[in-house]
Amino acid sequence: MTQTHDSSIAPGSSTLGVEIPQVTARAKVLGRALYAGDLKVAGMLHGKVLRSPYAHARIVSIDTTAARALPGVKAVLTGEDAPAQLWGVHHKERAVLAKGVVRFCGEEVAAVAAVSEEIARDALDLIQVEYEELPAILSVEEAMDEEAPPVHPGRANNIGHEIEFARGDVEAGFAAAHLIHEATYTTHSQYPGYMEPMATVAAPDPDGRLVLWTSTQAVNLVRMQVAATLGLPVSRVRVVQATTGGGFGGKIVEDDNQLVAGLLALKTMRPVRLVNSRLEDFQACCASVPERITLKLGMDRDGLIVAKEVRIVAECGAYAGLAGDVMHVSAMRSDNMHRNPNVRSHATLYYTNNPPRGAFRGFGGTQMQFALNSHIHTMAQQLGLDPVLVHERNALRAGEVSVHGWQIGSTGLVECLQQATEAIGWAEKRLRPKDTGVKRRGVGMAAAMHVSGNRTIGNWDGSTVIVKINEDGRVFIISGECDMGQGASTMISQIVAHELALPLAHVFVVPPDTDVAPVAVGTLASRVTMSAGNAAIVAGRKAREALFALAAPRWGVAPEALSIGGGAVFVTAQPEQRATLAELARQSVWRHDGGGIQVEGRWDPKTVMHDDALFGNIAAAYSYAAQAVEVEVDTETGRVTVLDSYVADDCGKALNPIAIHGQTNGATVQAFGWALYEQLHYDESGRLANGNFADYTMATADAVPMLRGGFVESMDPNGPYGAKGASETAILPGAPAIANAVEDAVGIRIRDLPITPEKVLAALRARKQEEARDA
Amino acid sequence: MTQTHDSSIAPGSSTLGVEIPQVTARAKVLGRALYAGDLKVAGMLHGKVLRSPYAHARIVSIDTTAARALPGVKAVLTGEDAPAQLWGVHHKERAVLAKGVVRFCGEEVAAVAAVSEEIARDALDLIQVEYEELPAILSVEEAMDEEAPPVHPGRANNIGHEIEFARGDVEAGFAAAHLIHEATYTTHSQYPGYMEPMATVAAPDPDGRLVLWTSTQAVNLVRMQVAATLGLPVSRVRVVQATTGGGFGGKIVEDDNQLVAGLLALKTMRPVRLVNSRLEDFQACCASVPERITLKLGMDRDGLIVAKEVRIVAECGAYAGLAGDVMHVSAMRSDNMHRNPNVRSHATLYYTNNPPRGAFRGFGGTQMQFALNSHIHTMAQQLGLDPVLVHERNALRAGEVSVHGWQIGSTGLVECLQQATEAIGWAEKRLRPKDTGVKRRGVGMAAAMHVSGNRTIGNWDGSTVIVKINEDGRVFIISGECDMGQGASTMISQIVAHELALPLAHVFVVPPDTDVAPVAVGTLASRVTMSAGNAAIVAGRKAREALFALAAPRWGVAPEALSIGGGAVFVTAQPEQRATLAELARQSVWRHDGGGIQVEGRWDPKTVMHDDALFGNIAAAYSYAAQAVEVEVDTETGRVTVLDSYVADDCGKALNPIAIHGQTNGATVQAFGWALYEQLHYDESGRLANGNFADYTMATADAVPMLRGGFVESMDPNGPYGAKGASETAILPGAPAIANAVEDAVGIRIRDLPITPEKVLAALRARKQEEARDA
């Protein structure tokens, strides 16, 4: 692990482990931050998209005559005007604008650019599209039907992706098991619910290059996709991250917004602003991948898992995007938590005519952890064991290697379990007499792991950070990694500030811009603290070395004799021998072979791409979380209320406790929403019925108790100062912890998310009928 | 000298020495280039400046009540609102907005920001300023008067700067001279005449930092000045160069435009656009420094200069700016052309209540070369020698060191003299019988030297260029050096394209932006080809090495066995073993410790700051030019017409012949304008009478013959591929060449520029009267 306490940094000045408000906060709360939708560019047009009202239909004809004739309209584009090149993360199968056929309700059919948003909207109404409705596949069951027509001709059986692997001897494991339990869990799709819908301003620059200011998690991935799809060399595309109001996985590269905006800009040779309305965003964005998981576990008498079989049926909707990768995580990742050597998975991704599903915070972990933690709870009960004990017994320890070759450098899983359950009063509450009144309380817990980075994206999971010291001794940081609100810029600022012993106000992160920032993978897979954090350390130290090399001759000492602190470099043994960073920075410019201090830090984890058998240590570190909740179930209404929640997060080292609490709390609320409230409702034609925040019920303040949480600092050997990723892990245990608590409260097991009052009531009724029958 | 022919670059692909249109041309001719005045930013206000109508006055009171009350006006600022910090390159003596006193007619008194330019203009009319006029010093003669009031209290005798030096034994030199000639020459102030008046959009960014998109030659110098004057750390100021429509020295840091725009933006917290009208630009910009030069030369019988004494009285107007540096060049630079060891100069810069004067293409060289070349012509005639021979005899040769310690690495002066005079038919025309009719023809020539860079700006004259290879194998170049139209971006592009054997369309120079570009001195002192050019070579070669290192293992060869060409790296001996730059660039990202190729090239010349005695080799190279012209003088009207002109330019190596011809021709026309037409006319109160292009008569097409020119490639040992600066030298010999040709044509010597018909007629009359008297 990278040491925090470097003897050349004067004590007392560190910005690490201190509660620091986001460096982006001030601009946001003052209303000055510029989101893509806020931008105005000379000559800018406004774009609007016409979307398919059908889940599946042939486009018979499109008449844009009237729309084109509307004064103020500058372009009306259809599939005929869009590039023939299709797009998609793996399968290139989606058109920028649909051509011939639409495959989901909401698919982009035509796009308009006009001098005002109102005119663009009016023009949409004037576009005459004749559709011939086709039979739509609106469920995985229909997709699996051998008679089902293919969503994509040529994709046999509507399968988008399939994973199958086995390790150890699963049959022998089950044969030796004391207890075998099999059950099926279904998880639903969650809308990312970021505050800022997708937005882009695309413009040709004076050199005819295409520039996009956009809401994104990954400027370089967007550049690649836009270039490849619109037929431009990547160098002819510039992507600048505008202030981004949340991503949650939904703003990687699965959205058509940037492509449509780019196409409109190229066709009009004018800047075009394309901002999704909330309804459009609900229709166009990728919500999470719904999965039906059949889990079979064998345990010995002591709760040790000895065999595991997983079958997953996942749905990607009309286009596969990253859904296959999500399913891959569901199928594999949780295996790496446990000692069990006998695992087998078979996961299949199906196309339907529902909207495309994709990346979402937790990235497949949430789905599987709901099943696994529900399962462990159930089996522990059957074995008469405390599920916490079962988790502990199975947990891999630091230094061990998992069944898939993951090297567990650090793990605070056991400590997380202890911290969370202790905080919630687990020991007493679990054993207290069951409530018998209308409102019944119960406790539940769950545990999970996540990655910090993931080499399977490509054989580079590193990052590059440039540190530039200005003549005032302040520092600019240039990186291509995006901050969507989660705090990447704050984290990088803290690290560079720490290494140079500067106040945070003296470092400034330049927003990602593909023209000038080093290539970056982007903010996904909880990789930025690990990779960009380590790169920032390298860069910060290089800058410090450069300052020391410059300063040492002033006093005729070796660089090793120097310290940095209080905005100055000084002789450690004679602190009155000092020079401010500003003095040194000016000296670094104005001298022979000068030009200033501008250094580059690179870091890439010593991880590997998994091999063909899916074996290999893909991440530099693995983070863990455990959550314990207390719920109250109203047996008359079926309503579940979370009364208390405590998430213990093994983030390695809490570089900024307040930021991690923020992430943990946000993840917890998002998990509450998924477990209890949020649900995308479609009518029988596949049309979204609740694409707005009034009807799509995210957890509001009254649905959330005062959230509690704590850290376990497992000090990862690869992490920057021991830190690991801390934005995704905390979402994983929420749903199963609640499901387990509901079971504890009222004795019913809900395996089908969300846990709605209707389902609770139905389960209670069913049990009553069973009890009546049995009686 | 840096070799062009690197054996690892495949032949036939070089972009060097080829006629290449400016890489910025397409955007300009299509009207897409964004000059600062073209920018529109959300919420942008428009600024206007109220200027003093008096050359010298006390500001008794300013009433802004009515202006502030005008709807749409967002700020009305006066000296009271401006920072107390004064500004100026050396003497901090000028207020952003005048306080208490105005010192020249046109000085900034108040500034308005309003929602439209019209409202801002109307608001100016509503500002009531009460002035108490003070006696104005409108000439150097008045300034020198011992009784004269000081323009700046505390600056004794109105002296802004004074230089005095002597080397060798000047008295002994004159004592030994065969011929001594002394005369006084006066040169006038020339308006830079760029097509784009000064323009800035200043805006607070979301973090409250001040951003300026501005027309400039030097983004870092602007950042420094704006930060220091407005009281911000440099890191809180970002300067981005907008497309810049010419500079000619006038857009370094002597203009108040950026400071006023910045102040308005900070006060309103809104973006503010401040674009000078042409009249305002005439009033506000720095025209060149007028000098009165008394030159005394002693020569031996053969025309060898044996002693030189220079006395200069220069005028900086109300604020000194860079005028002292300009005068310094006038006083010293020409000494370095000649073998003469005995030199003495005394130069004094005076304040007046005229507008500030400052940097201008040629930077003091034009003034002195007018005197020196006129003088040499006159003395050669007196000695019965061809002035070309006199120039040749005196010229220092390559490898020699000048009287002030300048190391002449290369010189093509003699070849320039030969080329220019041969082209013009010097030998015959000089000796042909004199015309006797109304229109009389004559030939004249002159020669000059200039620097390529100048370390006296600060003890760093280097440059940093970043080369970034994108995944399509194309290249971005990041540098802080500005292209104002002269071709810096084209030059850097050519060099990087050459080193990577790429077509020019595959390299792209990112416009200078202080946030992300390495620190740069800026485009002045003809330094960019030398310093940025060499840095580009270093960066280009580093990038090539990185590509070779990446490619070599593919074929198990050493990097030395590889070549680059046609967008690919290949085994020199087996060209079918090849990988495209795009393949390699992608490999450079997606591999262990990847992240792409982004390399930095730095270069700083091995020059020195001159010592206290002004001795030392300040520039990496010295460029030379000679010009020969044929004129026709109409003895009835006094009109001088240039019939033919040939400039031979020793640019070291013509990296882009068409660009250098463009620079040479532009400089030649600017010299014609200065010599014959342009003149700033002030009325008796110091008010500019001809601040527009109708009345300020720059040379138009009908005043210019088909210009001719050629290169002398002296291949400088320090230059990139032998090249030296090529934008300024060619302006130096124009005026004296014309004056000498006039003398040749009609026998009159005009020592007072410009050579107007009135002066010619007056001189002809005077000579006629003299002849009549003598007869």
Report the gap between the CA of B111 and the closest CA in chain A (Å).
25
Asked if CATH classification 3.30.300.30 holds for the domain at B395-450+620-775, the reply, yes or no, is: no
CB B578 within 8 A of CB B548: no
CA A318 to chain centre: 21
Using one digit for the tens of pLDDT, what is the confidence trace for B554-578? 999 999 999 999 999 999 999 999 9
Interface with chain B: mutation pick from A38, A235, A237, highest number of B CBs within 10 Å: A235
Report the gap between the CA of B31 and the closest CA in chain A (Å).
8
User: Could you say which of B34, B41, B464 has the minimum Cβ distance to residue A206?
Assistant: B34
User: Could you say which of A207, A472, A516 has the minimum Cβ distance to residue B233?
Assistant: A472
Asked if A235 lies within 8 A of B596 by C-beta distance, the reply is no
Question: Can you name the CATH fold of A395-449+620-775?
Answer: Aldehyde Oxidoreductase; domain 4 (3.30.365)
CA distances in angstroms from B515 to A468, A502, B511, B644, B672, listed in the order given: 9, 19, 11, 48, 40
Asked if A516 lies within 8 A of B519 by C-beta distance, the reply is no
Asked if B464 lies within 8 A of A596 by C-beta distance, the reply is yes
Cα separation, B637 vs A732, in Å, equals: 94
Using a CB-CB cut-off of 8 Å, the residues of chain A touching B596 are 464, 518-519
- Reported as a pLDDT band with limits 50, 70 and 90, residue B2 is low
User: Could you say which of A233, A458, A471 has the minimum Cβ distance to residue B590?
Assistant: A458
Q: What is the pTM of this model?
A: 0.96
- Reported as a pLDDT band with limits 50, 70 and 90, residue B477 is very high
Q: Which residue from A261, A291, A308 is spatially nearest to A360, judged by alpha carbons?
A: A291
> DSSP per residue over A243-300, as a string?
B----TTTTSS--SHHHHHHHHHHHHTS-EEEE--HHHHHHHS-EEPPEEEEEEEEE-
Nearest chain B residue to A39 by CA distance is: B42
Using a CB-CB cut-off of 8 Å, the residues of chain B touching A472 are 227, 233-235
Asked if A27 lies within 8 A of B462 by C-beta distance, the reply is no
Nearest chain A residue to B506 by CA distance is: A235
CB A194 within 8 A of CB A248: yes
Cα separation, A355 vs A108, in Å, equals: 11
Using one digit for the tens of pLDDT, what is the confidence trace for A423-447? 999 999 999 999 899 999 999 999 9
CB B683 within 8 A of CB B106: no
Asked if B475 lies within 8 A of A235 by C-beta distance, the reply is yes
Instruction: Kindly state the average pLDDT of the residues B15-40.
Output: 94
CB A217 within 8 A of CB A484: yes
What pLDDT shows up at residue A274?
Answer: 98
> DSSP per residue over B15-31, as a string?
-SSS----TTHHHHHTT
Asked if B32 lies within 8 A of A464 by C-beta distance, the reply is no
Which phi and psi angles does A101 have, rounded to 5°? Answer: -145, 145
Asked if B604 lies within 8 A of A589 by C-beta distance, the reply is no
User: Could you say which of A27, A594, A604 has the minimum Cβ distance to residue B595?
Assistant: A604
Using one digit for the tens of pLDDT, what is the confidence trace for B614-639? 999 999 999 999 999 999 999 999 99
Using one digit for the tens of pLDDT, what is the confidence trace for A267-319? 999 999 999 999 999 999 999 999 999 999 999 999 999 999 999 999 999 99
What pLDDT shows up at residue A3?
Answer: 58
Using a CB-CB cut-off of 8 Å, the residues of chain B touching A43 are 40
Using one digit for the tens of pLDDT, what is the confidence trace for A542-557? 999 999 999 999 999 9
CB A731 within 8 A of CB A361: yes
Using a CB-CB cut-off of 8 Å, the residues of chain A touching B460 are 589-592, 594-595
Report percent pLDDT > 70 for chain B: 99
For residue B195 the two structure tokens come to: 């097509």
Q: Three-state SS across A724-761?
A: CCCCCHHHCCHHHHHHHHHHHHHCCCCCECCCCHHHHH
Look up the ipTM and state it.
0.95
Check whether B456 has a pLDDT greater than 90: no
- Reported as a pLDDT band with limits 50, 70 and 90, residue B3 is low
Using a CB-CB cut-off of 8 Å, the residues of chain A touching B457 are none
User: Could you say which of A40, A41, A589 has the minimum Cβ distance to residue B519?
Assistant: A589
For residue B215 the two structure tokens come to: 């027309």
Using a CB-CB cut-off of 8 Å, the residues of chain B touching A234 are 470-472, 474
Using one digit for the tens of pLDDT, what is the confidence trace for B725-741? 998 999 999 999 999 99
Check whether B718 has a pLDDT greater than 70: yes
CA torsion B66→B67→B72→B78, rounded to 10°? Answer: -140
pLDDT, block means (10 residues), chain A with 775 residues: 69 87 95 95 96 98 98 98 96 97 98 98 98 97 94 94 97 98 98 97 96 98 98 98 97 96 98 97 96 98 98 98 97 98 98 97 98 98 98 98 98 98 97 93 98 91 98 98 96 97 96 97 96 98 98 98 96 97 97 96 97 96 98 98 98 96 97 98 96 96 95 97 95 98 97 98 95 86
Q: Which residue from B493, B506, B476, B27 is spatially nearest to A206, judged by alpha carbons?
A: B27
Interface with chain B: mutation pick from A456, A463, A506, A516, highest number of B CBs within 10 Å: A516
CA A138 to chain centre: 26
Tokens 């850290």 found at: A711
Cα separation, A116 vs A120, in Å, equals: 6
For residue B414 the two structure tokens come to: 């003699």
Asked if B508 lies within 8 A of A208 by C-beta distance, the reply is no
Q: Which CATH architecture has domain B25-33+462-603?
A: 2-Layer Sandwich (3.30)
Cα separation, B707 vs B226, in Å, equals: 41
**Residue A302, Ramachandran bin (φ over 0: left; ψ between -120 and 50: alpha; else beta):** alpha
CA torsion B542→B543→B546→B551, rounded to 10°? Answer: -140
Instruction: Judge residue A197's burial from the number of C-beta atoms within 10 Å of its C-beta, 0-12 exposed, 13-18 middle, 19 or more buried.
Output: buried
What pLDDT shows up at residue B458?
Answer: 86
CA B693 to chain centre: 21
Interface with chain A: mutation pick from B581, B589, B609, highest number of A CBs within 10 Å: B589
Nearest chain B residue to A603 by CA distance is: B593
What pLDDT shows up at residue B5?
Answer: 59
CA distances in angstroms from A4 to A20, A210, A620, B240, listed in the order given: 17, 43, 19, 37
Beta strands in A618-729 (DSSP E): 621-634, 640-650, 708-711
CATH 3.30.365.10 domain range(s) in chain B? 25-33+462-603, 395-450+620-775
For residue B387 the two structure tokens come to: 């002035």
Continuous segment of H or E residues that includes residue B470: none
CATH 3.30.365.10 domain range(s) in chain A? 25-33+462-603, 395-449+620-775
Q: Which residue from A346, A376, A378, A352 is spatially nearest to A189, judged by alpha carbons?
A: A352
Interface A–B counts its CB contacts (< 8 A) at: 159
What pLDDT shows up at residue B665?
Answer: 97
What pLDDT shows up at residue A14?
Answer: 87
Higher-confidence residue of B15 and A306: namely A306
Q: H helices of B432-518, where?
A: 488-499
